[in-house]
Each structure stands twice: as structure tokens, then as C-alpha cells.
Structure 1
Amino acid sequence: MHFLSETLQGYITAHSENEPSYLEELSRETHLKVIQPRMITGHYQGRVLSMLSKIIGPANILEIGTYTGYSALCLAEGLLPNGQLHTIDVNEELAWIQKKYIAKSGYTNRITLHTGDALNIIPSMKLEFDLVFIDAEKKEYARYFEEVYPKVRKGGIILSDNVLWSGKVVEPIDANDRATRALLSYNQMLKDDPRVETVMLPIRDGLTLSRVL
């Protein structure tokens, strides 16, 4: 499902900040060499993530789901001078492209790549995060949230991506569609959770902002 026409989406992108040249190059290489390139964050949402990060001014960022590193590099733009971003991905085969473009970006000493299951890695992290971006296995979103919540400072932001799931959240659900069912449950959980205040934005495939109270 396309929420906006291609023409209107093009207009919105054209009238938003340009992406850095290395991100444009990363997007091109992802589409040429990596499976499921539609998973990349892309120009417009990347600028939204960059802007949110710059507004928050985080000292520590956690990303769950690195893919080829586009969103991590966007989020890193808002880090405080000595800030650090930790990003987790289960697929070690993408490390080559992640490292290549982190090096091009100049954030080499400020981004730490973790490979493995986020649910095993997060408990070992002894950090307080100002900003978290959840964009990995949809069926595990609720578990990711519960793992990261105690590690987010009061007033910190948890972002959840793909919460509209190509519009499937408002369509009849296939009996075997566990991902859509999980997202429906997760979206309602965030709406009802008194520990956060939440707003869902129709950006790309849906982006939810939850502020820790």
C-alpha cells in the first residue's frame, strides 16, 4: 500500500534536506548488491531520523536492526560531541557494507557494531540511552521494547519503524501472518502503556515516537 502518490512523495523529498553524498552512494550500492533493498531507510525518512536526533542531542543511541547502516548513519548526525551509537544486527554478512560506509562517514570511532540476537545483547549493555530505534524482527518488537525500556532515561525517545506494515494493520489478516498480528498487538501496547506517551506518524511505512515518562 502506498500512502502517498509517487509524485507527492517525490515533492516532499525534493523539499526536504539533501542526504549526504555517502548516504546516496550507500543507497545505490544497497540496491545493486544486497537482498531486499526496500528495507533501507532511504532519503526522506533518513532526514527525519537525522532531524529527530539533532533535536534530542543524544549522548547514547541504540539501534536494533542495522541492515546496511543507512539509518545508523542518519541517527549519528545528532550525537553529542562525545556521543556513541550502538547498533545490533543478526546478519554478519552485511558487516562489509556497514563498515565501508561508516568509514566514509567519519563516524568510525562513534559507532559500535554488534552482531547477534538483540535480545541476548541488550541485557549486557551497561548504558543509559537517550534515543532508541527499533527496526528488526517484527514479531519481537514487544520484547525489544521491554528490554530497552529500563535503559532509556526519563524523557528519552523510543522510535519504532514499520508500524503500518504496508497497510496490513488495517486489512483482513491472513491466519498465518504472525508479523502483522504482532505489530497490531505492539501498536496497541504502546497506546495503552502508561510508562510512555506515544504518537504514530505516517512516515514511509509508519514511525512511532514513544517518550519515556
Structure 2
Amino acid sequence: MTPQIEEYVNSHISREPDYLYRIDRLTNLRMINGRMCSGHIQGRLLKMLTTMAAPKRVLELGTFSGYSALCIAEGLQPGATIDTIEVDDELEDFILQNISMSPDADKVRLHIGDALEVMKQWDDNEFDLIFIDADKRRYIDYFNRAIRLLRKGGFIIADNTLWDGHVVETCRHSSQTQGIIDFNDLVANDPRVETAIIPLRDGLTILRKIAD
């Protein structure tokens, strides 16, 4: 997406809520890797996908600054919740501050720790939607656990699955790129899910669980 197209899209989609704009700004001002924040375009898509799927229980792996969790929370029906997991405990105060800005703050439960360890507390088929946006080297591990926690008919959304186009390069891949490639190959051939990739930003894969 060229800067011109991105500007055009930004001006022709639903407005970004003021509190999310502030969180995006704070993320980019305070954090070296602020680009990891979902941002306006992807955020509106996450909100719409959540509204369409109407999940009661959502799980997010990789909170970062809380932007994507709050976009998902915005799309939740009353009584629905999102559990979000962040491994970096130094981000906890920043995340909680950002969550407090949202009118949907009561829908969000933050967990600090290793995602695979935190996920052990939940039972199979407990979630309706799972968003994966954590360590790219562990995407297959996350998927293998997430597919068990997801009810049949539920959705997994995985971010960064085109990884700046590195997935199609023929040179030696970094461990993160290889993690994404291996994940993409796995889910493309897994009979338990149907798969679509949206070439938005860094690539967004949508999986629907069709079999246990």
C-alpha cells in the first residue's frame, strides 16, 4: 500500500475514536517499535470482524500497547469479554493506562506472562475468537494450543503473516520469517480450518475452525 493509497483509505473509512488516536500517538512516541501498533485501518477492520463474528469470549496473544485489544473490545456485545496476554511486564502500567481511556475497559482482562503458560488455565472450546500477534517464531505453538481452545465455528486471526514480503524471498530467512513461513504452510494444509489471507499492512490471516 503506497502512502497515497493509505491516506485515501484512512479518509474513506470509519473515524478512529479519539482515545485510540491518542494511544497510537503515545505508542509511536514512547516505543522504538511503535510501528507494531495496529493503527487506524487495521483497527477498524478488527472492530468490524469482531462485530460480525459476535464472539462471547475472545483471547489475544500479544497485547503490546493495548490498541488492538481495545478495537476488538469495541466490537464486542454487552457481556462479552477479551482476555489479552503480554509477556513484557514492563509494559503493564502503560497498557493499563491505555485501557482506562476506553469506554470498553470493563470488557478487557490483562494477563502478564508467557502466552503458552497463561493459556493453560483455560479449557478446550472455551473461546469464540483468538487473535495471534506475538512472537513470530512461536506461531505454530500458539496455533496448536489456540485451535484446541477455540470452539468449532470460531475464528483465529493471525497478524504479520506476510512479514514485509519476506515470506516470498529466496534468500536465507531469519528465525522470525521462518516461523511465519512454517505457520502459513501448516494452516494452509490443516483440514481443521479454512484459510484466507488479507494483504493488508503486514498480512492478516483469518482461519475458521471447521472440524476438531
1:155 alignment partner AA: G
Is the deviation greater in 60-69 or in 92-101? Answer: 92-101
Corresponding position of 2:182: 185
Quick one: distance in 2 between partners of 1:195 and 1:123? 21
Task: Provide the alpha-carbon RMSD of the alignment.
Answer: 1.1
Corresponding position of 2:137: 139
TM-score (norm 2): 0.95
Deviations 1:39-90 (A, max 9, x none): 1000000000000001011111000000000000001112121111000010
Corresponding position of 1:150: 148
Corresponding position of 1:26: 23
Alignment match of 1:85 (pick from 82, 85, 110): 82
Q: CA deviation at 1:133?
A: 0.4
Corresponding position of 1:54: 51
Give SS of 2:131's match: strand
Give SS of 1:204's match: coil
The runs of at least 4 consecutive aligned structure 1 residues that moved more than 6 Å come to none
Unaligned runs of 5+ in 1: none
Quick one: distance in 2 between partners of 1:173 and 1:57? 42
1:174 alignment partner AA: R
2:56 alignment partner AA: A
Q: Work out the number of aligned pairs and report it.
A: 209
1:16 alignment partner AA: I
1:157 alignment partner AA: F
1:73 alignment partner AA: L
1:23 alignment partner AA: L
User: 1:1-213 alignment to 2 at 5 Å?
Assistant: 4-126=1-123, 128-174=126-172, 177-213=174-210
Deviations 1:11-45 (A, max 9, x none): 11211111110000001111111221011000000
Is the deviation greater in 56-65 or in 105-114? Answer: 105-114
1:48 alignment partner AA: L
TM-score (norm 1): 0.95
Unaligned runs of 5+ in 2: none
